[in-house]
Amino acid sequence: MIKLVVLGTSAALPTPTHNCTSFAVKYGGAYLFDACEGVQQQMMRFGVSMMKVNAVFLSHLHADHFLGLLGLLQSLNLQKRTDPLLIVGPTGTKKFLEALFATRILAPQFPVQIKEVARSGKVFENELFTVKAFSVKHAGHALGYSLETPSYRRFDKAKCDAAGVKGHLFTFLQEKGVCEVIDKKSGKRKRVKLADVTYVQQGKKIVYSGDTEPCAAVAKAAKGAELLIHEATFADDAKAIAKEKKHSTAGQAAAIAKKAGAKKLLLIHFSNRYENRGGLLLEAKKTFEQTELAQEGLELSI
């Protein structure tokens, strides 16, 4: 089960009760998507182990999305981390971070690999999932990310019962791809193939828009996703401002989720002008009912 923990929800300006946008995925380790200021404290508060962080995926190099990375690295230094850390970001990330790390007091005391993303495609892979990056429409080079688990075969109970597959034959079928059973009617042996009694279960997909104006690339990446996490900086009555600043409204985010056929939409990255974010939720629900507002500490199981 994939666990997603929201660490921050605000846009560029935090509020007394909301940090800037960041969240963690817990699945065979911990993986950060953007790093808000004070991200390590948010991780402590909401049960995400800093020492288990394997990678950080930065959507772009605006300060509200990366400032927490420096504090996190310093905290890891103090905890004597020795495991390597992967940092993924858009073109320019390597030069920028290496300049910061050249200052002795900011240098990580453990191996750090910096991977720049110049084009859309796979940027991370382990035995459990892959992460793909894609370009979105925001100031400078900005990225969205798609975390995807592989498809796998599941046994169809009705077909297994009808074919007489039971007990140790499940394991045998998985290992060999074919087995023999006794036909109930004829009493003769018959061959049963794995494909005869199974079906393909599609993997899970979680897509993060990063900061972006309404963008076809997000809809494409989020096609059929279990969860789309989409920025909703403004309400629909501020579309002109959203367009000027290359951001999205709540209604526009909902339209993307609907177009993509996503199962659920999580709105995030709210302007601090909205003390009460309920109106943003209502606007999105007019278009896409399965919408939820991100809030610090929210944990979703996917």
- Strand order through the sheet with 112-117: 112-117, 85-90, 53-57, 30-33, 22-26, 3-8, 299-301
Does 64 qualify as catalytic in the annotation? yes
* 19: number of Cβ within 10 Å: 22
**210 φ/ψ sector (left φ>0, alpha ψ -120 to 50, else beta):** left
Residue 270 has pLDDT above 90, yes or no: yes
First CA to last CA across the chain, in angstroms?
6
Residue 44 has pLDDT above 90, yes or no: yes
Question: Whole-prediction pTM value?
Answer: 0.88
Q: Which of 64, 183, 236, 237 is catalytic?
A: 64
AA letter at 197: V
> Percentage of the chain with pLDDT > 90?
80
CATH class of the structural domain 3-151+202-301: alpha beta
**Per-residue pLDDT at 8:** 98
Burial of 116 (0-12, 13-18, 19+ CB in 10 A): middle
**DSSP strand pairing (121-125 vs 189-193):** unpaired
Where are the chain's structural domains? 3-151+202-301, 152-200
